Amino acid sequence: MQNIIDKFLINDKVTLIAPHGNGHINNSYLVETTALSGFKRRYLLQAVNKNVFSDSEGLMANIEKVINYLREKSGDGRGVMKLIPAKTGRYFHIDENGTCWRVYDFIENAICLEAPESPEDFYECGFGFGNFQSQLSAFPASTLTETIPDFHNTPKRFENFLKAVEADLCGRAAEVQEEINFVLSEKDFYSVLYDNMAEGKLPLRVTHNVTKSNNVMLDAVTRKSLCVIDLDTIMPGFSVNDFGDAIRFGANTAAEDEKDLSKVSLDMEMFDYFARGFIKGCDGHLLESEIMLMPEGAKMMTVECGMRFLTDYLQGDTYFKTKYPQHNLDRCRTQFELVRDMNRHWQDMKDTVKKYI
C-alpha cells in the first residue's frame, strides 16, 4: 500500500491505512497522513476492479472530464470530488498487475448513508442526484466512454440472461425456475425506454447509473446534500434510470438481500419524497415526458437488477461480491418481489410524479 501511495503527490507521512466502506465492486481504503507540524489529512485510496472495468484509462478519462467540468462551475469546495494527481501527471497509477489505483481528497464533516434514515434524508439524496443532472445538462454526453457497454440496456441484459439460463454453467437453473419464469413474464416491458427514446420522449443524458443513497455525501451537521460520489459508471444514459435505481434501493421497505419477502414493499412516502427532491434538483432541465416515465425507470432498474443478480448466480457469482453461496439469489428474489409491489402501486407512482411537473 505504501508503494502505491508513493506514486501520488502525497508528501506527508502515512500514519494510517484501513479498509473503508462496503462497495460491491471496488476496494477502498482510508489513508491518513501527518505533517511535521502535526496537521492530519485524509484521503480515499481505491483499487478499480479490472474484472468489471476493463478500460480503466477510459473510465478515469470520464471521471477527470466530469470532475473538471463540475469544479469549473462550482469552485473548489466540498460540492465536487477532488482527484489527487499521480507523480506522472495523470490522475491514476497502473500497477504491475494491471490494477488501476486512484486517490481522492477525503470529504470531511460529511456522511453517506447506507440507507436513508428519514424521508428528509431521501429527499436530499434525490436533490443531490437531480442537481447532478442539472449541472451536467449541457455537458456533451457523447464525449464519454461507455465504461461498461450496455450497462443499463435492459433488452441486452435480457439476452445475456437467456444465454446464462441456456448455458447453466453451474447447474443451478433447475432450482431457480420460478425466478426464471418471472423474468420471462416481464419480457414485453424491457424495451419501453428505448421505444420512448426512438419517439423523442427520452433523450440521452450524462447519467450516474448507480444512484444508491450512499453515493451522495450529506453534510454531517445540516444533512443537506453536498456532492455525488462513485463516478465509475458515468456514461450516456436515461435520467429515469438514475431516478429508478435510487427508488429500487431507498424506497424498498427491506434490505436489498432480505430473505423474508413479506418485508419487501414499495414505500410510497419515500417514493414521493425522492421524486420531489430529484425533480427540484433537476431545476427544469427535464422534459415532461421524462418525468412521466420515472415510474418506468423505477420498475426497469428493479427488474433489471434482479435479472443481473440472477444471471450472476447462474454464472457462479463472478461479478457481485457475495457473503454466502445464495447471496445473489436472495438479492434477486427481493428485487422481483419489489417489482410485484410496484405493479400494484403503478397508478400511485404515476400520480405522484405528475403532481411535481
Contacts of 120 (CB under 8 A, 6+ apart): 223, 273
Question: Range of 90's domain?
Answer: 2-108
Which CATH number goes with the domain that contains 126? 3.90.1200.10
Mean pLDDT of the chain: 95
Q: Is residue 42 part of a domain?
A: yes
CB atoms inside a 10 Å sphere around CB 72: 9
Percentage with pLDDT > 70 across the chain:
99
Residue 178 and residue 253 share a domain: yes
Residue 83 and residue 175 share a domain: no
Identify the band that residue 73 occupies on the pLDDT scale cut at 50, 70 and 90. confident
Residue 167 and residue 88 share a domain: no
For residue range 112-157, list pLDDT tens digits in order. 998 899 999 999 999 999 999 999 999 999 999 998 889 999 999 9
Run of H or E residues at 33: strand 27-34
Residue 342 and residue 265 share a domain: yes
Q: Is residue 113 part of a domain?
A: no
User: How many domains is the chain built from?
Assistant: 2
Please give the grid coordinates belonging to residue 43. Answer: 484521503
For residue range 202-258, list pLDDT tens digits in order. 999 999 999 999 999 999 999 999 999 999 999 999 999 999 999 999 999 999 999
For residue range 8-54, list pLDDT tens digits in order. 999 899 999 999 977 767 889 999 999 989 999 999 999 998 888 88
Residue 146 and residue 271 share a domain: yes
Residue 84 and residue 139 share a domain: no
Please give the grid coordinates belonging to residue 347. Answer: 397508478
